[in-house]
Amino acid sequence: MGNAAHGSNYINAEKGLMSWFTSLDHKRIGILYFVTVLFFFLVGGIAALLLRLELFAPNVNAAGQAVAGAIFKNGDTYNQALTYHGAIMVFMVIVPGIPSIFGNFFLPLQIGAKDVAFPKLNLASWYLFMTGATMAIATMFLNKVDTGWTFYTPYSIRTSASVSLMVAAVFVMGMASVLTGLNFIATIHKLRAPGMTFHRMPLFCWAIYSTSILQVLATPILAITLLLLIMERAFGVGIFDPKLGGDPVLFQHFFWFYSHPAVYIMILPAMGIVSELLTTYSKKTIFGYTAIAYSSLGIAGVSFFVWGHHMYVSGQSELAGVIFSFLTMLVGVPTAIKMFNWLATLYKGSIEFTASMLYAMGFMFLFVIGGVTGIMLAVLPIDVHFHDTYFVVAHFHYVMVGGTLMALMGAIYHWFPKMFGKMYNEALARASFVFVFIGFNVTFFPQFILGGMGMPRRYFDYIPAYEQLNKISTVGSWLIGIGFLIGLVSIIQALRSGAKAPANPWGCKTLEWQTESPPITHNFSHEPHVTEGPYEYK
């Protein structure tokens, strides 16, 4: 990469692989996460394609199922594949994804800081993350885990799989997540450049700030829950096991007390990115800056009190169900506010359809559908029918893939010139969007209908009535696969032979574009002095 720039930058400042693994530079650590998270995304994605392949037709041993039949001898293999798909995608891709890659790289740049508050801790977080990830992958070579990513008791206590190691892995990755969040909160509070008031921060920083609060406050509960699960398996302490009078439903309460806020850990950073992309590519100031900023905090706050909506049919009391349903409706409001603000941002703008903008608009399209189906699921009797069916599967994929992953892809293209100092091929990038977007809808829209028809999730086999829609869904998954493959090709192609990127190719107003591409090691040659908001397009 010697020809990237004449001057020194963070990439060529030091040479050799070891200089990357020992670097305290937030930008280099961001790149470490970038490479590792993309790798895990590939692993989780392959698992997903295999799952869809198996579901191409009912009855795995039937003719025409040769490939799937060879891989999935029985339900066990399938259950293991779905566990790894879920656990990898949640704990190793979507939760760490945007904060660890783009938060690390761009949060200090956007607020005009030289680094995050605790650079050593930042590198330690990556090593913790990798330790946890290695432990999780190691279980694949021991007794493959078959509990699903939720580890529900008492199944997770009884099964002979390596649940303890897997759970310990999630615990360690959780620590990495806590330390990253803590680092970002301190960074935002203490390291903003002169003049960078809270209300002049880019919306991505606001989103990361809300996310970090969730990471710090919710993850410890997951940690203790997982420790207790390990104790349960080792000593049978009886807290989650009915044998000693324990309560398996308590595990669900504890688990969702983390995992519901975790849903917002996954989506809030994506919302931040979409705010950046929409204003950049319409060359127009964001509509309702304050509303978007505070709705992130609002969502974060309310998200702690809605966990019970995962448990309407678990045996919790009717009153609990009613309260959780009500509170869940309240989360819908700040989300709706954001959607309308984004729409209003486009009004009378000057819209350029770069790949990033396409991904941002794809996000809006899919997230609206994810959102309205989320409201449906919050309605008590509707959820009783849809709970644990493919409707839920479709809903959270619309939010997690249609939301978070679309934003992640948009962010990759948006910030690629800054991160690597090279331009990408716009045609290839747009092609990846077209395939991912169409493939996504073909895969997941039929699953709403399947869920309505009553097809339960985590089913290795299904009744013949569900066959047609499952076939369509599987074909869609191939399109998504092609789309992401094109995306990967476009990134590799850009890294190898992309044209040199100017400092500010998109005409952005935020600080990260006011320094060179790629940035110098100390980010800015002069400490920036901020005098106005981040989106003053006039």
Q: Provide the minimum distance between the beta carbon of 54 and another protein in the complex, in angstroms, as a whole number.
A: 11
The Cα 140–Cα 81 span in angstroms is 10
- Give CA–CA dist 34/20, Å, rounded: 13
Measured from the CB atom, is 165 or 375 closer to another protein?
375
In order of 65, 388, 450, the CA distances from 466 in angstroms are 16, 16, 7
**In this complex, which beta carbon is closest to another protein, that of residue 93 or of residue 185?**
185
Residues 24-63 close enough to bind another protein by CB under 8 A? 24-25
**Cross-strand partners of 158:** none
Contact between 119 and another protein by CB under 8 A: the answer reads yes
- In contact, 282 and 507? CB cutoff 8 Å: no
Among 5, 165, 186, 488, binds another protein (CB under 8 A): 186
Question: Of 233 and 422, which CB lies nearer to another protein in the complex structure?
Answer: 233
CB of 485 to another protein, least distance (A): 27
Query: What minimum distance in Å lies between the beta carbon of 462 and another protein?
Result: 7
Residue from 8, 242, 468, 492 in contact with another protein (CB under 8 A): 242
> What gap in Å lies between CA 296 and CA 317, rounded to an integer?
30
Q: Does 373 bind another protein (CB under 8 A)?
A: yes
Contact pattern from residue 465 through residue 504 relative to another protein, giving x for each residue in contact according to CB under 8 A and a dash for the rest: ----------------------------------------
Contact 401, 430 (CB under 8 A): no
Q: Are 342 and 367 in contact (CB under 8 A)?
A: no
Q: How far is the CB of 294 from another protein (least distance, A)?
A: 11
For residues 141 and 150, what is the distance between their CA atoms, to the nearest angstrom? 20
Q: Which residues contact 128 (CB under 8 A, 6 or more apart)?
A: 172, 173, 175, 176, 179
Neighbours of 92 (CB within 10 A): 26
User: Kindly report the CA angle at 310 between 307 and 314, in degrees rounded to 5?
Assistant: 115
510 binds another protein (CB under 8 A): no
Residue at token pair 């798909």: 85
Does the protein bind another protein through residue 512 (CB under 8 A)? no
75 binding another protein? (CB under 8 A): yes
Whole-number minimum distance, CB 26 to another protein, in Å?
Answer: 9
**What is d(CA 75, CA 278) in angstroms, rounded to the nearest whole number?**
44
Could you tell me if 355 and 416 are in contact, meaning their C-beta atoms sit under 8 angstroms apart? Answer: no
Among 43, 133, 163, 239, binds another protein (CB under 8 A): 239
456 part of the interface to another protein, by CB under 8 A: yes
How distant is the alpha carbon of residue 235 from its chain centre? 35
Give min distance, CB of 203 to another protein, in A: 13
Q: Which of 325, 432, 474, 510 binds another protein (CB under 8 A)?
A: 325
Size of the site for another protein (CB under 8 A): 131
Question: From the CB of 90, what's the least distance to another protein, in Å?
Answer: 16
| Region 274-313 residues binding another protein, contact defined as CB under 8 A | 282-285, 287-291, 313
The helix or strand, by DSSP H or E, that contains position 428, with its residue range, turns out to be helix 426-453
Binding residues for another protein restricted to 335-354, rule: CB under 8 A: 336-337, 339-341, 343-344, 346-353
Q: Kindly write out the interface string for residues 215-234 of this chain, putting x where it contacts another protein by CB under 8 A and - elsewhere.
A: -xx-xxx-xxx-xx--xx--
423 interacts with another protein by CB under 8 A: no
Which of 130, 191, 428, 482 is the binder for another protein (CB under 8 A)?
191
Least Å distance, CB 390 to another protein, is 11
Map tokens 């709705």 to a residue. Answer: 295
CB within 8 A of 163, min separation 6: which ones? 145, 147, 151, 156, 229, 233
Q: Are 196 and 111 in contact (CB under 8 A)?
A: yes
Q: At which residue do the structure tokens 């999780």 appear?
A: 136
**Which one of residues 305, 445, 459, 478 is an interface residue with another protein (CB under 8 A)?**
459
Rule CB under 8 A: is residue 458 a binding residue for another protein? yes
Please give the residues from 153 up to 182 whose contact with another protein meets the rule CB under 8 A. 154-155, 158-160, 178-179, 182
Cis peptide before 518 (omega within 30 of 0): yes
State yes or no: residue 237 binds another protein (CB under 8 A).
Answer: yes
Q: Judged by CB under 8 A, does residue 454 bind another protein? A: yes
CB 193 within 8 A of CB 111: yes
Range list of β-strands (E), 9-75: none
CB of 39 to another protein, least distance (A): 26
Question: Residue 8's CB: how many other CB atoms inside 10 A?
Answer: 12
Which of residues 27 and 418 has its CB atom nearest to another protein in the complex?
Answer: 27
With CB under 8 A as the contact rule, the residue among 56, 444, 462, 513 that binds another protein is: 462
Q: What would you measure as the largest C-alpha separation in the chain, in angstroms? A: 69
Q: Does 375 bind another protein (CB under 8 A)?
A: yes
Among 378, 405, 419, 436, binds another protein (CB under 8 A): 378
Which of 49, 69, 148, 514 is in the footprint of another protein by CB under 8 A? 148
Q: Contact, 170 vs 76, CB < 8 A?
A: no
Cβ proximity of 481 and 45 under 8 Å: yes
CB of 124 to another protein, least distance (A): 12
Angstrom CA distances, 290 to 129, 269, 281, 298, stand at 34, 16, 20, 12
For another protein, the closer CB: 498 or 519: 519
Output the six-digit token pair for 78: 């399938």
Task: Sketch the per residue contact string, 81 through 100, with another protein: x for CB under 8 A, - otherwise.
Answer: --------------------
